[in-house]
Amino acid sequence: MRGSHLLIAVAFVLAVAVGAIAGYVSVDPVAPQISAAEPTPSTTPPQELTEGDYGPDWPVCRDMSNDPIVRFKACDSLLAKGGMMKAHQSWALNNRGTANLGMSNVDAAMKDFAAASKIDPTNTSPYINLANLARSYGRLADALELSDKAIALRPSEYAYCSRAATLRDLGRAAEGLAAIEAAEKLGPLTDCSKAVRADLFEMRGQKEKALLALADVGEDDKTASRAACQRARLKAEDGKYREAFDLYAEGMRLDPDNNCAARNAATYAPYVMPFDEALSFVKETMRTHPKLRTLNCDLGRIYEMQGEQRQALSAYNTAIEGAPRGSDGGFEGLRDGQPSATGKDRYLEGARQSHGKARPQPGGPRQLRPGAFTGARRCRGTAGAG
């Protein structure tokens, strides 16, 4: 359903933009996941908008700092009353769309963005938001065309950032950096452009520039937390596990709900601190993140490093048995939340085989890469992934 609505919305807006509707193939996408390097919803209002034109709901609808539910109700009330200028109605529809997106109502958001562009084709924000959605569903040609339409109408940092993010996904780093440079000429960059620029630098192998760009991200704690995870991943790729762990821990502090930070901090803990401290750290992380079943794999790896095979096997088994019903939970051999006999045996045998291999000692050199232990690697799947 979401795929078809996206196709309708994108097709309609492109028809307005370029006068032709392309033939699209239906897809079955998942809801987009926003990272530190993804453009945030564009809500740049027309210049003539003023406070209080339409009563108390007007400033609430305009204020992006409001909770999405509060903002949705205000925008919805304004639209229901009617009597708005077309430019204002388009903007209210766009902002109701961003509120819908904040509540994970992707289908409704698409409809609002398409309606906003129909009422006022000169409003660039709906084009940018539809471009970001199209990109999240892998429709990169559509995303690029929509962001370019927004730039042609009224150049803005959000439009250039959306273009740069799409060019990044197309593997066109040089063009993406050129888009960021164009955005920078319009004024100081926001986190959107800084984070996308970091991705583009990384694509070109310029890790130090990527790290510098990410270090400057932090308009809010959640975005700064995601950027810390990206910096940590780059550090870990260079074998700098202590710095990686510290950055993941910083990500946890900035945003306790950041599962990326919690998962990876637990992965690297035994490589940067004595085992008893690592064990305490992982157990505390399990307490604060009870839904992260993969933390049992990290617990198992620490026990395995210490030669506690029985406790390691128990932790691995808990992770496998705890996979969500209806999905594989990240573990091979699982169907409908239940491990197959061969799958379960394979994980446990992997743990047994890796028991007794060379492993780092407390306070000594840390030469093994995270995920080197067979049981943990098979149990966790992507140990250390950012």
Confidence at residue 174, expressed as pLDDT on a 0 to 100 scale: 96
Average pLDDT over residues 366-374: 40
The residue with greater pLDDT, 18 or 90, is 90
Which among 216, 213, 222 has a CA at the least distance from the CA of 36? Answer: 222
The residue with greater pLDDT, 250 or 38, is 250
pLDDT over threshold 90, residue 55: no
Contacts 24+ apart (CB under 8 A), 138-143: 138/27, 138/29, 139/6, 139/10, 139/27, 140/166, 140/169, 140/170, 142/10, 142/14
Which among 257, 280, 198 has a CA at the least distance from the CA of 233? Answer: 198
Q: What is the CA radius of gyration of the chain?
A: 24
Confidence at residue 321, expressed as pLDDT on a 0 to 100 scale: 73
- Residues shown for the chain: 386
pLDDT over threshold 50, residue 298: yes
* Fold equal for 2-154 and 221-361+368-380: yes
d(CA 235, CA 229): 10
- Return the DSSP state at 364: S
Backbone φ/ψ region at 373: left (φ over 0), alpha (ψ -120 to 50), beta: beta
Write out pLDDT tens, residues 260-290: 899 899 989 988 999 899 999 999 999 999 8
pLDDT over threshold 50, residue 35: no
Average pLDDT over residues 186-196: 91
Residue written as token pair 């993941």: 248
The residue with greater pLDDT, 316 or 360, is 316
Backbone φ and ψ for 364, nearest 5 degrees, come out as: -100, -175
Average pLDDT over residues 115-119: 93
Per-residue CA distances from 77 to 8, 119, 378 (Å): 26, 18, 52
CA torsion sign for 269, 270, 272, 278 is positive
Confidence at residue 66, expressed as pLDDT on a 0 to 100 scale: 82
Confidence at residue 143, expressed as pLDDT on a 0 to 100 scale: 95
Q: What is the DSSP string of 175-197?
A: HHHHHHHHHHTTSS--HHHHHHH
Confidence at residue 134, expressed as pLDDT on a 0 to 100 scale: 93
Helix (H, G, I), strand (E, B), or coil: what is residue 334? strand
- 115 near 93, Cβ under 8 Å? yes
Q: Which of 149-158, 308-317, 336-345 has the lowest mean pLDDT?
A: 336-345
Confidence at residue 220, expressed as pLDDT on a 0 to 100 scale: 85
Confidence at residue 369, expressed as pLDDT on a 0 to 100 scale: 42
Confidence of residue 38 (pLDDT cuts 50, 70, 90): low
Confidence at residue 386, expressed as pLDDT on a 0 to 100 scale: 28
The residue with greater pLDDT, 343 or 365, is 343
pLDDT over threshold 60, residue 100: yes
Average pLDDT over the chain reads 76
Confidence of residue 309 (pLDDT cuts 50, 70, 90): confident
pLDDT over threshold 80, residue 383: no
Write out pLDDT tens, residues 324-358: 444 333 333 333 333 334 444 444 444 444 433 33
pLDDT over threshold 50, residue 310: yes
Average pLDDT over residues 174-201: 94
pLDDT over threshold 90, residue 169: yes
Q: Which fold has domain 221-361+368-380?
A: 1.25.40
Q: What is the reported pTM?
A: 0.68
Residue written as token pair 């919690």: 262
Backbone φ and ψ for 335, nearest 5 degrees, come out as: -135, 125
- Listed by start position, the domains of the chain span 2-154, 221-361+368-380
What single-letter amino acid sits at 204?
R
Contact partners, residue 164, CB within 8 Å, separation at least 6: 176, 177, 179, 180, 183, 193, 196, 197, 200
Contacts 24+ apart (CB under 8 A), 179-186: 182/155, 183/157, 186/155, 186/156, 186/157, 186/160
Q: Which fold has domain 2-154?
A: 1.25.40
What percentage of the chain exceeds 70 in pLDDT? 69
